[in-house]
Amino acid sequence: MTELIPAPRSVVAGSGEVRLTAHSRIYAGHGTEGVGHWLRTVLREATGLPLHEGRELDDTDGDGIGLRLDPALGAEEYRLVSDGNGVLIEGGSAAGVFRGAQTLRQLLGPDAYRRAPVRRDRTWAVPHITVEDAPRFRWRGLMLDVARHFMPKEGVLRYLDLMAAHKLNVFHFHLTDDQGWRVEIKRYPKLTETGSWRARTKIGHRASPLWDDRPHGGHYTQDDIREIVAYAAERHISVVPEIDVPGHSQAAIAAYPELGNSDVVDTASLTVWDTWGINPNVLAPTDDTLRFYEGVLEEVLELFPADAGPFSPFVHIGGDECLKDQWRASDTAQKRIGNLGLADEEALQSWFIGHFDRWLAERGRRLIGWDEILEGGLAAGAAVSSWRGYAGGVAAARAGHDVVMCPQQWVYLDYRQDAGPEEPVPIAYVRTLEDVYRFEPVPAELTGEEAARVLGTQANVWTEVMEDQGRVDYQTFPRLAALAEVAWSDLPAPADRDFAGFERRMSAHYRRLDALGVAYRPPTGPLPWQRRPGVLGRPLDGPPPDC
């Protein structure tokens, strides 16, 4: 019952237990009322117990739960004490109390994750224990790509609950790409009328001969987005939206052809892209394009308010994989390079990114982008998501930028989990559960001051070959549990980590995931219905390149 994930800093076990009964109460002190409401709701559903609100902390009579702030603790630090007086969770903020409440739920057993009681006659007990805990990193995230394959709102809310259960606190929401535009922008209705769906979809890797000829699409209304952001905030998760520029933009160009390089290609004939890879159709570097995306971002800033969480001021603008062939051939782009006195097309992208860096900063927000945004220089306030290995993050930290470490060689969860032939749509290198568990977000070559620039880490879930929730679950879990422990727990050096102990704790955690309905990859390999025989992937031979 104490097989906790992520591993806490300190656990001292006692010899008794606190039994929850029909008389047990939950007391939420000042500042913890939201946590109390959440905890009362999930435990009532799972246990069937009334768990009425306690009037005072000592109103629990030794069989209840108290929640309280302790200003001596860090913001997400908590202390959980279960003893003869009941259960008391104290945190430095409501977020800290909420993290402690997640530990309490684990201590109650897997059935505490169900939506209704399995047995009315069972005993609900919390072992006598003292847990003291705090996160290693401030940014502990999951990036979910809903552009390649759309995930309906209910699925997104479910993933926020799964993140909360693993003490993750940043949801990087990849909303736009070549294959779909997923957020309603009232000023530009064609972005969703045209850009949110495609006529067909490639099945498997882009070299696959297979197609799904059904239209695929979907988008979130502005009220859907507000609901998602509020739901995340209740779980102390910051939502960071991504609006990708200047590459990965064919869906937007299909909706508004004037955004593309129309002096090079017939942009009016472009449709939302139906396959995968790096797309040559990129945004034109014009004033009209800048004004268009300023209009998009004005609505995005309203939908994702800066005060919804500690990382809510961030807006991700992508900036990755922008091919420059059209700019090289475009008279408009070349004139822009000349008028600005720029050296080349790489500098033109830097100018494009720099424009939105300044625009966001003027509105009290912070730009974050993939590590390509470092090319050509970057304003001091911007942050970098380091995906092409560690190098971009090291360069960014040394230049004084905040960094989120998410190197593809370690934490891209679309990568295959085993070399066996039964893995569904095998992509890239093998990244096992143990590989993720031995990932170290802070490169050894950074100085102490530079290492402090590493805000944390996140796993990235790109969904080209994940057509539904079950496939997303399979690729994401159980590896997200390993990433959560890497991000939260103060683990030793990778070679010294107790992976056998983690596997033992995972044997209990799989039962929690079962209760939550997660279609994870079993440790023994994919179940028959999780396989995708005959669907071509893109497996790469050998180990991944050195990060």
Q: Six-digit token pair at 169?
A: 């606190």
Nearest to 131 by CA among 97, 164, 103: 103
The catalytically annotated residue of 172, 248, 401, 509 is 248
Position 464: which residue type?
Answer: E
For residue 392, give the nearest of 320, 488, 440, 343 by alpha carbon.
320
DSSP 102-131: HHHHHHT-GGGGSSS-S-TT--EEEEEEEE
Residue 300, classified by CB atoms within 10 Å of its CB into exposed (0-12), middle (13-18) or buried (19+), is: buried
- Would residue 248 show up in a list of annotated catalytic residues for this protein? yes
Instruction: Give the Cα separation of 412 and 422 in Å (integer).
Output: 20
Q: Which amino acid type is present at position 153?
A: K
- How far apart CA 163 and CA 101 sit, in angstroms, is 14
Q: Would residue 321 show up in a list of annotated catalytic residues for this protein?
A: yes
Report the alpha-carbon distance of residue 146 to residue 157 in Å, rounded: 13
CA separation for the pair 232, 224 (Å, rounded): 12
Contact by Cβ (8 Å): 403, 383: yes
- Known catalytic residue: 37? no
Preceding omega of 407 cis (within 30 degrees of 0): no
Query: Rounded CA gap, 268 and 253, in Å?
Result: 8
Q: From the candidates 63, 77, 90, 177, which is the catalytic residue?
A: 177
Q: Find residue 316's DSSP bridge partners.
A: 242, 368
In 463-544, alpha helices (H): 469-476, 479-488, 499-516
Coil, strand or helix: which one is 139? strand
Query: For residues 491 and 485, is the Cβ–Cβ distance under 8 A?
Result: yes
- Count CB-CB contacts under 10 A for residue 215: 12
The rounded distance, in Å, linking the Cα atoms of 229 and 367 is 19
Tell me which amino acid residue 421 is: P
Half-sphere exposure of 113 (CA within 13 A, CB side): 23
* Catalytically annotated residue among 3, 59, 111, 321: 321
CA–CA distances in Å: residue 483 to residues 168, 261, 411, 438, 502: 9, 40, 8, 9, 12
Burial of 256 (0-12, 13-18, 19+ CB in 10 A): middle
Contact between 486 and 457 (Cβ < 8 Å): yes
Pairing of strands 216-217, 197-198: antiparallel
User: Cα Rg for the chain, rounded, in angstroms?
Assistant: 24
Catalytic residues: 177, 248, 321
